[in-house]
A and B are shown apart, each in its own frame.
Chain A
């Protein structure tokens, strides 16, 4: 997994609540058997004026000039600022893959859907929960100031605004450890293989019908 330590990145504000994973990456792109290449189809139905299908040359498709991701001032953004319940809907990991492929490393919102939130960590994408009033403030500042960047420090668990205001955020020790080190979680778990085998043997004894 890709490591995350610190980032100073341009912020793109997506001012909608309940942004679902169908909106983040529409279903027709889920037919891919790869993990990469989803970036150009991130928010496809909002981002383009035509209907997108896999295999199209996205560079020649008509862009929706009213969609925030297409504004010249937000090109190259690495921090997505969002509203409540971001990432609701399906479990498709293609959603964080698409955000990552587009260049986003951080998503800040008042709340996230559980599965999406979890999927982000597996891909070196950092989802940060902040109180609604802080998110409101960041939206105001971001829209008022072109080139608005935020600095995120995972080790310190802080977000710093251009004016120097610092907000802290929560993360579990396990997730922080894995993200900072870019660790292979499967490899970590397999260090406990003997414990898993012992658990499994006891379970087989107690509930043999669960085993073929």
Chain B
């Protein structure tokens, strides 16, 4: 048998049928559902008189619209409230394996909730009407975002109409330097291959640096595969994967555990498997990353400076840099360390897990928010992350530093709830997108790791966390 990549194995094990042109029906094991991209899909099912093909494949929560403070007051925005209540009603009428509604202790960002519940398992196909579904690839699963028509299609048929992507291996060689996180690795990769570098590919992340990352770090990395253009990113299964899954609510029970583990251990690329593209990075060269523009590929490191459009020959790229600097209110050649911040956001499906909060708290401990910084928001990824952080006393560290400790949700990553930047405000954010208006119209986003964000909140500008 020919050597297969991890992606080849995951793909071929889910093909129900294949057409002559290579279009397949791909079986979906897990369907994660949230309030923003599902109402039109449920409506479509109702209009056609269809139900869910497999109720026990659906795991759902409300995350994008939920407020992160004053939960006693409910959801004040009537349109947001209607969307969340529509999900409540749809789950009640169609059913689900599990539902974590607004204020439930298991509620949280769908990509934090899935793994922590054991609803994401190695070898699965996982879809969700959300591009950051790539996160779940960290478990050796094939996971990607889909649109609402596809959400309805999966609900009705348990399958997706799909075509296979090409294989890309991104190999990060050697050990990471101290203080370098999954976020820095993700941004460094995007800086190298660009936001369209992975378009048409499924990316497997490998190499010593990737193996050394915790499951949280791997989730952060796979989460941002979509920012490199790849719908799915993945990491081979190893002992860390299996240890993370064990004992979680929807993980296999004792009766199935050994068989499951035996299968999961086959979920890696075979020796000699063919990749259509291979990208290699030297881990030792990766420093703390900071984006300066309005696309995640507009990134440099803490020792870098804002680029000069005059130095760019390509007219389309030059125009993009000029427009980005204008939007961001930055001057060419400004050192990153000289950029002041107004707001800090620590949260999102990229960086709101317990390890992320520990890293931010380690920086905040015994220090105070800079007077020039208006607000530092810390938004845990789920109710369970929040409880764990409070059990470890992290909330007290944040509050003593002058940070705000909030309820879980997507929050200021995309600002669908009340947490948003005002025009012109500059934010050090642990989220995934620095697009124009992403965190609020006119808001200016710099993507960084949790430790870098916390440090910017303390210093009032970007600083090298390795020097703290």
Which residues from chain A sit less than 8 Å from chain B, CB to CB?
15-18, 20, 22-23, 26-28, 30-35, 45, 51, 54-55, 83-85, 88-93, 96, 111-115, 118-119, 122-123, 172-175, 185-186, 189-190, 192-193, 195-196, 199-200, 203, 207-212
Provide a sorted-by-A list of 15 A–B residue pairs whose CB atoms are within 8 angstroms: A22-B436, A22-B438, A31-B36, A31-B65, A85-B229, A91-B129, A93-B149, A115-B226, A118-B147, A118-B150, A172-B22, A173-B20, A185-B153, A195-B17, A195-B25
- Cβ contact within 8 Å between A189 and B161: yes
> Measured between alpha carbons, how far is A55 from B79 in the docked complex, in Å?
10
**What residues of chain B lie closer than 8 Å to A208, measured between beta carbons?**
256
- Cβ contact within 8 Å between B231 and A114: yes
- Is there a chain A Cβ closer than 8 Å to B86's Cβ? yes
* Nearest chain B CB to A127 CB, angstrom units: 13
- Cβ contact within 8 Å between A91 and B37: yes
- Cβ contact within 8 Å between A88 and B196: yes
> Which bucket holds chain B's interface residue count?
35 or more
- Is there a chain A Cβ closer than 8 Å to B27's Cβ? yes
> Measured between alpha carbons, how far is A84 from B256 in the docked complex, in Å?
48
- Cβ contact within 8 Å between B195 and A85: yes
> Measured between alpha carbons, how far is A189 from B170 in the docked complex, in Å?
35
What is the 8 Å Cβ interface bit string for chain B, positions 420-442, against chain A (1 contact, 0 not)? Answer: 00000000000001011110010
**What residues of chain A lie closer than 8 Å to B176, measured between beta carbons?**
none
> Measured between alpha carbons, how far is A65 from B29 in the docked complex, in Å?
49
- Cβ contact within 8 Å between B161 and A185: yes
A-B contact sample (17 more), CB < 8 A, given A27-B438, A196-B25? A16-B319, A22-B414, A30-B36, A30-B416, A31-B77, A31-B82, A32-B83, A85-B229, A119-B150, A122-B149, A172-B22, A186-B156, A189-B25, A189-B159, A192-B25, A210-B29, A212-B97
**What residues of chain A lie closer than 8 Å to B159, measured between beta carbons?**
189, 196
- Cβ contact within 8 Å between A93 and B323: no
Of B83, B156, B253, which one neighbours A31 at CB under 8 angstroms?
A: B83
Task: Among A88, A90, A112, find the residue whose CB has the most chain B CB atoms closer than 10 A.
Answer: A90
* Nearest chain A CB to B46 CB, angstrom units: 12
Contacts A91-B146, A174-B23 given; does A212 touch B130 at CB 8 Å: no
